[in-house]
Structure 1
């Protein structure tokens, strides 16, 4: 169980690093991105393990990756300036 949590944390760190490299212009400060990736992966592992039970390490890591990516996506800012249309247009 400890190794599964450690693996999830490492997976979240790798996903956060990849997001920070690829989308640096759209994300906030890197420490926040790394913490969000790790916390999302640990939470995803917890939820998946709670739902499926013990003995499903690969599925727990998959759940960790999904929740980590979802939580990292919440940090994204819009790429460009938003254009607002008037109600009559």
Structure 2
């Protein structure tokens, strides 16, 4: 599931929401869909956080838009050189 793009995950999450709102699923299927929806929401949130980190890094370099690779910790790979 983590290989999905943000857009694919969001589309799947919207489909699950429609299915749950429809109310035609059994309790067991509803719980399974809910669990899948939670995982998709977490994936979307993670991808949004990554995008925010990249935007922050782009804007961090003296107000100039410079693309800087970031690490999982959210720091620029070449930040010590600056």
TM-score (norm 2): 0.35
> Max radius of gyration: which structure?
2
TM-score (norm 1): 0.33
Q: Which structure shows the bigger proportion of residues in helix conformation? A: 1
Indicate the structure whose relative CO is greater, using CA pairs within 8 Å and at least 6 residues apart. 1
